[in-house]
Structure 1
Amino acid sequence: MSDNITFIGVGAIGLPVAARIAEAGHRVTGVDPRPEAAERAAGTRIESMVTNMSEVDELATVVVMVATPTQLTGLVDDALEQDLNGSGWIIMSTVGPDSVRTEAERLQAAGAMVIDSPVSGDIPGTGTGSLTLFTSGAPSDIEALGDVLDAVGPRNVVGERIGEGQAFKLVNQHLCAIHIAAAAEALNLADRMGLDPEKALRAVENGGAGSRMLSDRGPRMLALGQIEVHNSIGIFVKDAGMVVHTGHRCRAQVPLAEAANQRYRLAADMDLLTEDDSQVIRTYR
């Protein structure tokens, strides 16, 4: 595939991922309508920034990291106005199985190859190539676009059908959403019982009650002052909601995900959408 990469969605996670791909030797053009996106990209190896996909001369290899299924649909609407025959698309957004299947079918009908490869990780991890990719698609397509995937994180091929990557990501987000909310609830319980929450965290994190989310988010839950954003609460408002919606559609019982989803929605009502997801603990105070 071409070394000319069009990267769509240069946000908090998208920017360091696009920069990582550029550092691997690809010529990256970023596409993002927000004026501040170009300012943030100025200190990276991203070659150029534009505000609309129509400003890109040729869509050879396209990496997509938009936020919602609606945005993905609009993006594909615009892309279909151009010649997509022979282009390669990597959809790294978390948009759910139904959305990615629908839009992949439209792209494939126009002659494009498509890989479903949502990513999991936090902002610091994007700069080290340590994101987890849940990749699905035709083996030949994955191989053709493999050098771009390898720049982002280790290949983690979970299936050959478009949509399987999204499904695996939803299982991942189900667990993450619950574990973060559970960590917040437990540390608040410790505090309300008169315990030192920091001591409680250290006492339990390496035992049977430990989890990666407890050890990673716990210290930020207990920190004072402005907390650096690694992943925003807004991500889990969207993703936990998607988990619940998908669970209902496939008739899976997801009561724990529903409870976690309600907690993130409460955080949104408290104007915490852009805060680090560890700050869901503030909904308990």
Structure 2
Amino acid sequence: MTRVGWIGLGAMGGPMAACAARAGFEIVAFDADPSRIEGKAAASVAEAAGEDIVVVMVATADQADEVLRDVPTETLVVMMSTVGPAAVQRWAERWSIVDAPVSGGVARAGEGDLLIMVAGEDSRVERVRPLLDALARSAPVVGSEPGDGQKVKLVNQLLCGVHIAAAAEALAFAEALGLDAGAVREIVRDGAAASFMLDDRGERMVQGAFDEVKSALDIFVKDMGLVTDAARATAYPAPLASAAEQLYVAGRRAGLGRSDDASLIRVLRGDT
């Protein structure tokens, strides 16, 4: 497998496609913004979908629905977007799907250092295994049915979303106590309160580094909505996820949706 159709070259999709190209895959790419395309460009979704294997890396289930209208049913679709299990299960009734949502952020996407949560029939997964391995530090098979990967990704996003919100609340609390939030972060990150999000997003929070958008706040409005929707569908209460979701929604209402998600601290500070 050397030639892959690729639809979606946003903050994550662009670096991923570039990583795949460096690994030797010929990427035939389409994006709504043609300026994002480097290498071989497709003039339409249908042209990109002319390949035997097509990666879909768009932002929402609605966008994926639109894209799939132009994808032949015999095409093997690698769904790498975070769209929730219900959508992928519905698409799997018509298309051959490998469910493969990703986690790791923009920098790791460009380095082939992602976590990919893979689900699908064994033969389909094996067909795309070289591509997955080129993009990932780890690409475990988490289930045999499309949608299983999305379920694991929602657990991942619940933790990420709550951890970002907790970091924002803790650092804003430090400021409210009259402390230097940056100094407090340096102290507590060496103890039991340490987390990746306190390290990564916490640094941007205390520095006010919100203009370079590494992960937009709107992504967590979407993803925490997917988490709480799935929780309701199983009668699971998800109280922390629900509280975090409301903070992200408040951030969107304050005009921060396209800002880096570290700007969530501004909601806790009350300066939006």
* TM-score, scaled relative to structure 1: 0.90
Q: Provide the C-alpha distance between the structure 1 equivalents of 2:255 and 2:248, rounded to a whole number of angstroms.
A: 11
| Cα gap change, 1:176 to 1:225, in 2 (>3 Å) | closer
Q: Are residue 88 (structure 1) and residue 71 (structure 2) matched? A: no
Query: Which residue number corresponds to residue 122 of structure 2?
Result: 139
| Cα gap change, 1:212 to 1:56, in 2 (>3 Å) | closer
Query: Which residue number corresponds to residue 14 of structure 1?
Result: 13
Q: Are residue 273 (structure 1) and residue 265 (structure 2) matched? A: no
| Cα gap change, 1:129 to 1:39, in 2 (>3 Å) | same
Task: Verify the 8 A CA contact 1:30 1:48 in the aligned structure 2.
Answer: yes
Query: Which residue number corresponds to residue 216 of structure 2?
Result: 232
Q: Provide the C-alpha distance between the structure 2 equivalents of 1:257 and 1:5, rounded to a whole number of angstroms.
A: 36
Q: Secondary structure at the match of 1:6?
A: strand
Deviation at 1:54, TM superposition (A): 2.3
Match of 2:185 among 185, 201, 226: 201
Deviations 1:143-180 (A, max 9, x none): 11101111110322111111110000000000100010
**Aligned residue-pair number:** 268
- Runs in 1 of length 4+ with deviation above 3 angstroms? 224-227
Task: Verify the 8 A CA contact 1:119 1:134 in the aligned structure 2.
Answer: yes
Q: Provide the C-alpha distance between the structure 1 equivalents of 2:208 and 2:259, rounded to a whole number of angstroms.
A: 13
Q: Are residue 117 (structure 1) and residue 117 (structure 2) matched? A: no
CA RMSD of aligned residues (A): 1.5
Query: Which residue number corresponds to residue 129 of structure 1?
Result: 112
Task: Verify the 8 A CA contact 1:10 1:18 in the aligned structure 2.
Answer: yes
Deviations 1:100-144 (A, max 9, x none): 01112211xxxxx32100001111111111111011111221111
Q: Which runs of 5+ in 1 are unaligned?
A: 108-112
| Cα gap change, 1:197 to 1:27, in 2 (>3 Å) | same
Task: Verify the 8 A CA contact 1:72 1:103 in the aligned structure 2.
Answer: no
Q: Provide the C-alpha distance between the structure 2 equivalents of 1:67 and 1:57, rounded to a whole number of angstroms.
A: 18
Deviations 1:13-34 (A, max 9, x none): 1111111111111110111122
Q: Secondary structure at the match of 1:106?
A: coil
Q: Secondary structure at the match of 1:124?
A: helix
Deviations 1:168-200 (A, max 9, x none): 000000010001001000000000001111111
Q: Secondary structure at the match of 1:210?
A: coil
| Cα gap change, 1:56 to 1:257, in 2 (>3 Å) | closer
Query: Which residue number corresponds to residue 101 of structure 1?
Result: 89
Match of 1:39 among 8, 26, 35: 35
Task: Verify the 8 A CA contact 1:32 1:51 in the aligned structure 2.
Answer: no
Query: Which residue number corresponds to residue 152 of structure 2?
Result: 168
Q: Which runs of 5+ in 2 are unaligned?
A: none
Deviation at 1:57, TM superposition (A): 7.5
Q: Provide the C-alpha distance between the structure 2 equivalents of 1:191 and 1:89, rounded to a whole number of angstroms.
A: 48
| Cα gap change, 1:72 to 1:40, in 2 (>3 Å) | closer
Q: Provide the C-alpha distance between the structure 2 equivalents of 1:203 and 1:91, rounded to a whole number of angstroms.
A: 41
Deviation at 1:72, TM superposition (A): 1.6
Percent of counterpart pairs with the same letter?
Answer: 40
Q: Provide the C-alpha distance between the structure 2 equivalents of 1:93 and 1:225, rounded to a whole number of angstroms.
A: 26
Q: Provide the C-alpha distance between the structure 1 equivalents of 2:36 and 2:85, rounded to a whole number of angstroms.
A: 31
Q: Provide the C-alpha distance between the structure 2 equivalents of 1:16 and 1:172, rounded to a whole number of angstroms.
A: 21
Amino acid at match of 2:100: S
Amino acid at match of 1:273: G
Deviation at 1:279, TM superposition (A): 0.9
* TM-score, scaled relative to structure 2: 0.94
